[in-house]
Chain A
Amino acid sequence: MKNSSRRGFMGKAFGAVAGVGAVASLYAMKKTWDPLPSVKAAGFTTLDMSAYKENELVTEKWRGKPIFVLKQNAEMVKKAQSNPKDIERLIKIGDAYYMVCVGLCTHLGCIPGYNPDEQSFLCACHGGRYDSTALVTKAPPPRGLDIPPFKIDGMKLVLGEEGPEYKKMLEAGTTLKV
């Protein structure tokens, strides 16, 4: 500080003011890019689960994303029960098992297509494959399709709310939070 003069002090004072201003501006800019509250609030979809047919993929919409609903037939349930990783992904409503997941490939977000004869999903973008509970059978996808937050309400399923079954899946690491 030996050489500090009044000019030096003014320089440092300006630096301090500019620094505070820069940080504050960056904060404002970051917040301006955030998703709007109206975007975040529009987030619940209710599905009537009695309407689905076995081994027929139906695509619903939740938060702008496609949601796959696949009611499992007896053969698929039997196959899933032989692998704990498969069966824990299914949602049981009444006596039926449903696969409900976000229909975006966990690799880079394309929509995989379902082949009811092979009972498997194929993502055309990079060749990833999933089985009938949407668990990965061929890379590049790093994990099975994500399961959206859900709450079982009789024969209805509310997407966007976190019910006890969903929380259990999160804890077990069956799905990631979306």
Chain B
Amino acid sequence: MAHFTKATSLHDWLNQRLGVDTLRRVLATEYWIPKNINFLWAMGMVLAITFGLLLVSGIFLLMYYQPNVNLAFDSVNYTIMQEVDFGWLWRHIHGVAASVVFLVIYIHMFTGIYYGSYKKGREMIWISGMLLFVTFSAEAFSGYMLPWGQMSYWAGMVITNLFSMGGLHMDGLVEWIRGDYVPAQAFLNRFFMLHVLLLPLAILGLIGLHFGALRIPHVNNQDGEEIDFDAEAKKYLSGDKAHSKVIRFANDFMSKDMMVVSIYLIFFFYLVFFHYDFAMDPVNFDPADGLKTPTHIYPEWYFLWSYEILRPFSTNVGLIAFAFAQVIFFMLPFLDRSPNALPASRRGLFKYWFWAMLIDMIVLTAMGKVPPVEPFGTVGFYAALTFIGLWIVLPFITKFEKKL
């Protein structure tokens, strides 16, 4: 047994048993962040805070929600919204955060793509981040089922039908996933379980992995500069803070992080109090009806780009294109053949690739929202082809990129 002495304070008592000083040093005061960064580096903290908001609001919704096909709709739209004091607050926080979290995820992703933060030892950060994106998508989808409105039901129908794999007709698999021929009680119950337990557990584990993956390669910086963190840390600790390229994570960097978070939260609660309706589809205020499809089914905005890649093709081709879109971002660190970890603006053709990809995804998102009529169908078709084409050319244009 280790040697313990009589504690001189509560801090000392805890320190002897839990090593709180060491923990604080490793996680905060001597976890080094480059100085050469901008507000886009705060998106990770913004995401962590938003996840916290989702968790807390979710806990309160869980106290009144009923995962039963006959009761679910009213438990949300009557009990929570009208009977429970401040029930509307938790619902609107939950709905707005579920939408905004994807906006921030996309900003976070495109920041990483722009600055090359998935290269040179940072591949696992990118891959764990993509796993988080996929798990968040599943979490958003399963949560969207729970109010059991028309959009819940028909999104559930359409998305689970994807698992029949088109021409393979794996209807047995679809029925297995649903636990019924159509989305019904078994379906609602199991998606409730996924939404409130299994997927959040997976997200918490993946957040741990994502943070862990950051530990050894450290955070990237605005110039993709390779920093000797040990040397810079030594410089900082010896008192030469001005010439050191790094600062402490806490409280120094955190204070700037939380400044961005404050501005974000003002924007966030402005949405919650005054513009929550953008996250609440009017169609979903009709109770689920298995005998009536809404005239126009579309997913939430953050899934529109991948939905639009599915839509313009025949079933099998569409499914293959859709599957491609779902996994291809995972491959980014390996498809980008250039050794340059630099901002896109200094990387030749990749600069154009980056902006083309961003614009193409915005076009796909817009086309996914409108009904499948001309000329939108054609625009969507070419935007989908552009998306696939951009990924095919990526290895070539980066292979011939000049080493800088």
CA distance A108 to B311 in the complex (A): 10
The answer to whether B181 and A125 touch across the interface, beta carbons within 8 angstroms, is no
Q: Which of A64-112 contact B (CB under 8 A)?
A: 64-66, 104, 106-112
Chain A nearest CB, measured from B185 CB (Å): 9
Q: Which of B293, B297, B373 lies at the interface centre, i.e. has the most chain A CB atoms within 10 A of its CB?
A: B293
Binds A, one of B126-134, B159-167, B210-218: B159-167
The reply to whether A109 and B161 contact each other, CB–CB distance below 8 Å, is yes
The answer on a CB contact under 8 Å between B297 and A66 is: no
Whose C-beta in chain B lies nearest to the C-beta of A107? Answer: B315
Residue of B180, B297, B318, B371 touching A64 (CB-CB under 8 A): B180
Q: Do residues A64 and B372 form an inter-chain contact, with CB atoms below 8 A?
A: no
Which B residues touch A10, using CB under 8 A? none
Chain B residues with CB under 8 A of A109: 157-158, 161
Docked complex: B137-183 residues within 8 A CB-CB of A: 154, 157-158, 161-162, 166-167, 169, 171, 175-182
Determine whether the beta carbon of A65 is less than 8 Å from that of B182: yes
Within 8 A of B (CB), among A27-72: 30, 33-36, 39, 59, 61, 63-66
Q: Contact between A64 and B182 (Cβ–Cβ < 8 Å)?
A: yes
**Cα–Cα distance between A64 and B315 once the two chains are bound (Å):** 24
Contact of B167 with A66 in the complex, beta carbons under 8 Å: no
Smallest CB gap from B156: residue in A: A109
Name the distance in Å between B291's Cβ and chain A's nearest Cβ. Answer: 5
CB nearest to A111 among chain B residues: B293
Cα A141 to Cα B372 in complex, Å, equals 14
The residues of B that contact A108 with a CB separation of less than 8 Å are: 157-158, 161-162, 315
B-chain residues with CB within 8 Å of residue A34 when the two chains form the complex:
176, 179
Q: Which residues of A contact B318 (CB under 8 A)?
A: 140
Partner of B186, one of A30, A35, A61: A35
Instruction: Say whether, besides A33-B179, A141-B315, A176-B169, A64 and B184 are in contact (CB < 8 Å).
Output: yes
If the complex has contacts A39-B186, A126-B372, A140-B318, are A61 and B295 also in contact, measured as CB distance less than 8 A? no
Knowing A35-B186, A109-B161, A140-B315 touch, does A125 contact B179 (C-beta < 8 A)?
A: no
Mark B12-46 against chain A: 1 for CB-CB distance below 8 A, else 0: 00000000000000000000000000000000000
Q: Are B161 and A142 in contact (CB under 8 A)?
A: no
A63 touches B181 (CB 8 A): yes
Question: For residues 127 through 145 of chain A, which have their beta carbon under 8 Å from a beta carbon of chain B?
Answer: 127, 139-142
CB of B180 within 8 A of CB of A142, answer no
In the complex, which residue of chain B has the Cβ closest to the Cβ of A112?
A: B293
How far apart are the CA atoms of A124 and B314 in the complex, in Å?
15
Q: Taking CB as reference atom, which chain A residue is nearest B162?
A: A108
Quick check: B297 and A125 within 8 Å, CB to CB?
yes
- In the bound complex, residues from chain B placing their C-beta under 8 Å from that of A59 are 291
For A111, list chain B residues within 8 Å (CB).
291-293
Q: CB of B275 within 8 A of chain A? A: no
Chain B residue at minimal CB-CB distance from A125: B297
Contact A125 B158 (CB under 8 A): yes
The reply to whether B377 and A35 form a contact with Cβ atoms under 8 Å apart is no
Q: Does B313 make an interface contact (CB < 8 A)?
A: yes
Complex Cα gap A108–B290 (Å): 14
Q: Which of B157, B177, B315 has the most CB of A within 10 A?
A: B315
Q: How far is the CA of A105 from the CA of B386 in the complex (A)?
A: 28
B residues near A178, Cβ cutoff 8 Å:
171
How far is A135 from B181 in the complex, measured between Cα atoms in Å?
A: 23
Instruction: Contacts A39-B179, A65-B181, A124-B296 given; indicate if A110 touches B186 (C-beta within 8 A).
Output: no
Residues of B within 8 A of A113 (CB): 293, 295
B316 in the interface, Cβ–Cβ < 8 Å? yes
User: Is the C-beta of B234 less than 8 angstroms from some C-beta in chain A?
Assistant: no
Interface of chain B residues 256 through 299 with chain A (CB within 8 A): 290-293, 295-297
- The 9 nearest A-B residue pairs measured at CB: A111-B293, A127-B372, A64-B182, A109-B161, A63-B181, A108-B158, A110-B293, A142-B315, A66-B291
24 interchain pairs, CB-CB under 8 A: A30-B176, A33-B176, A35-B176, A35-B178, A35-B179, A35-B181, A36-B186, A39-B184, A65-B182, A104-B157, A107-B315, A110-B154, A110-B157, A110-B158, A110-B293, A112-B293, A125-B293, A125-B372, A126-B311, A127-B372, A127-B373, A141-B315, A142-B166, A176-B169
List 5 other contacts, CB 8 Å, given A33-B190, A35-B181, A109-B161. Answer: A35-B179, A64-B290, A65-B290, A110-B157, A176-B169
